[in-house]
Structure 1
Amino acid sequence: MTASLPTVIDTAADQAAAVVLKKLHHHPIKKLLEHRRTYRPYHPLISIHESTTLGDVLRTLSDHAILAVPVYSIPEEEPTGKQFTGIISVYDILAWTVFQKMFDGLHVSKPSASIDLASFQRIQKEQAHYFDTPVKVLVGMTSESVDSWTLHSSDPISSLVQMFATGRYHRCLVIDEDALVASALLDDDGPGPTAPPTGSSITMITQTDVIRYLYDMRSSIDVSAVETIFSLHASQVEELQKRQEDNKKSNGRRVVAVPQNVSALAAFRIMYENMVRAVPIVDPHNRIIANLSASDLRGITPGKLDQLLLPVFEFLETGIHREPNQLKADQLRDVNKSAQLGEVIESMIDTGIHRVWVTGYRDKIAGVVTMTDVLCAFVPVSQALEEE
């Protein structure tokens, strides 16, 4: 398939991406795991059995401040092992939530701090079914949860970059081969090492891990090439991901702004219908005043589901949906179109956010740079077109 790209793409940066990707082909994922241990010394994999209820999943995501968790079943032939069947993220939960029957007939396009008694009683009655849903029902709500990848720690980091740059995957399970060998040796019961339980040496790597590696380890990759990519403007970086849009079932709109006078449920529905993971909340002048993402569903508990009918800004400020150190709804991270990618990455690393909004004339919302966009900048155009 052929495609034409905007001339805004910088040729020097594209050549630098080719250099970086080639270098990363000689950096095994093992190096990334070693690097992660320098700032997260103990990083056990949190996983859930497929029979776990949605209510427990929501609590797990909230308690551990994570956005996704692998789902496993227990092999009949190996009761102590785990067979991973997918990865459930907050986006799968969003897809399951927004069109629940309990919300049928409600006027969700406008907020309501209070709803009629009959509707309230219906939500209270039916929410038990919602929270008791086994998580295996949600596997497959999105392509990532049904088609998760597993790599080995000996595979190159370039594989992760290319996979994450497609926008389809945001995390990947990795078999830590060093941990596998160490575990087998520790379980030695005689003439030879006993194989450790299936799944015991698997970890999960995210886009955040890869971006932090690229940022911290640029001197060991190719500092000149990496810095060339870091010098791209936000508007240029955003264009890199647009080349993928023709292959996605989307309307091509990368930023779908939501007015402040709608309910949280309406905003989440808009998010799902437009296949985006976050939306800016804007005032009547199209100036961003808050950020709503799928992660804000974490912390919803029985008895609180009706809070989805609150005005979206009020929903964000209730306090139960956000981590203690997470940015508040109005503590936004935005940059001008001319801001450099290095600045965007620093903001992501410092605050733990997954996107930075781009503003233009009179601070009006003009675009967004996501972690997927950042990783696209490290994949040469020619290779991206080949993947298409």
Structure 2
Amino acid sequence: MASNLVEKTPNELCEATKKPTLIVARPTITVREALRMMANHNIVSLPIYSHHSDNIVTIVDIVDILNYIIKEAVADEKLPSKINSEKARNLDSQIEAVMTLDSDQESYRIFNTDANECIKNTLKAYSKGIHRSLVIDYNNKIPPYILTQSDIIKYIQAHPECLPTIDFKSSLRSLGLFKGRNVVTGYDHETALNVYRRMAEHKLTGIAIVNRERELVGNLSASDLRGLSYESIDSLVSLVLEFLA
């Protein structure tokens, strides 16, 4: 009989997927260097070592850096037509400049998971807003890697039997997952920059894009910033669907 999802270990979840080598930066890296490193490695989050050891102590997300650049480069301008990131102050400050102490943000906190223990506590952390976990093999058999909510979803999709009490043909409403709350959206006539601002304001990682008839026409998320560099950051003032094209 297949074991329940909560009894699985991170290694069991990811055994069919080769996790990429973790790209980690020193805390002395600058904001400019961090964004360039993310672009070069095509990643949207960057783990940071401790000042005093090789322990990974935090993760900086590309949205954190984007919010920092927006704040510095366009200030309170409502509808900027251009972003000149080189006008932003302190781009050569250490990456800690963009690390927020807001407990609701991913930066400045990291959740650790033992590679050989069940993921029950990790799932609890995910249910409270954590999006990813640093998996550490304390037996030193494999290097550390990041376990994301997407990894969990992919495993469930491939192994629905790991949730034996869930009828996957049921509606979201019948499962108690539909709360009737207002959905935060962006409009296709807005710039990508303003939609990302709304995402940050509501502490979201993705947002639906609709047209004037409120029909769904796209989706904007943090992953769409993958590969963003100082040379291409001006593209954020494009209409959101043009930015996504």
TM-score bucket (shorter structure): 0.7 to 0.9
Deviation of 1:150 (Å): 1.1
Distance 1:139 1:93 in 2: 9
Deviation of 1:105 (Å): 5.8
Provide the residue aligned with 2:242 in structure 1: 314
Provide the residue aligned with 2:210 in structure 1: 282
Distance 1:48 1:177 in 2: 21
Any gaps of 5 or more consecutive residues in structure 1? 1-19, 76-80, 184-200, 244-251, 318-388
Deviation of 1:205 (Å): 0.9
CA contact 1:59–1:298 (8 Å) conserved in 2: no
Deviations 1:5-57 (A, max 9, x none): xxxxxxxxxxxxxxx9x93443333422xxx23232x5322211112233333
Deviations 1:171-209 (A, max 9, x none): 00121134x1x48xxxxxxxxxxxxxxxxx432211122
Distance 1:233 1:240 in 2: 9
Provide the residue aligned with 1:177 in structure 2: 138
Provide the residue aligned with 1:39 in structure 2: 17
Deviations 1:323-353 (A, max 9, x none): xxxxxxxxxxxxxxxxxxxxxxxxxxxxxxx
Provide the residue aligned with 2:122 in structure 1: 160
Provide the residue aligned with 1:232 in structure 2: 170
CA contact 1:257–1:281 (8 Å) conserved in 2: yes
CA contact 1:29–1:154 (8 Å) conserved in 2: yes
- The match for 1:69 among 10, 29, 46 is 46
Distance 1:59 1:49 in 2: 14
- Classify the secondary structure of the residue corresponding to 1:177: coil
Deviations 1:272-297 (A, max 9, x none): 11222222222111112222222333
- Classify the secondary structure of the residue corresponding to 1:261: coil
Distance 2:21 2:170 in 1: 36
- Classify the secondary structure of the residue corresponding to 1:308: helix
Any gaps of 5 or more consecutive residues in structure 2? none
Distance 2:229 2:32 in 1: 7
Distance 2:114 2:8 in 1: 13
For residues 351-362 of structure 1, what are the structure 2 equivalents within 5 Å? Answer: none
Question: What is the total number of aligned residue pairs between the two structures?
Answer: 242
Distance 2:179 2:48 in 1: 31
Paired letter, 1:29 = P
Per the normalisation by structure 1, the TM-score is 0.54
Provide the residue aligned with 2:229 in structure 1: 301
Provide the residue aligned with 1:202 in structure 2: 144
For residues 1-388 of structure 1, what are the structure 2 equivalents within 5 Å? Answer: 23-32=4-13, 36-40=14-18, 43-75=20-52, 81-100=53-72, 102-104=73-75, 106-108=77-79, 112=81, 123=84, 125-127=86-88, 129-130=90-91, 132-140=92-100, 142-166=104-128, 168-178=129-139, 180=140, 182=141, 201-219=143-161, 221=162, 224-226=164-166, 228=167, 230-236=168-174, 240=177, 242=179, 253=182, 255-317=183-245
Distance 1:105 1:86 in 2: 29
Deviation of 1:231 (Å): 2.1
CA contact 2:134–2:144 (8 Å) conserved in 1: yes
CA contact 1:72–1:85 (8 Å) conserved in 2: yes
Distance 1:286 1:66 in 2: 32
CA RMSD of aligned residues (A): 3.1
Distance 1:206 1:233 in 2: 25
Deviation of 1:169 (Å): 0.5
User: Larger Cα Rg: Structure 1 or Structure 2?
Assistant: 1
Deviation of 1:84 (Å): 1.8
Q: 1:43 to 1:266 in 2, by over 3 A?
A: closer
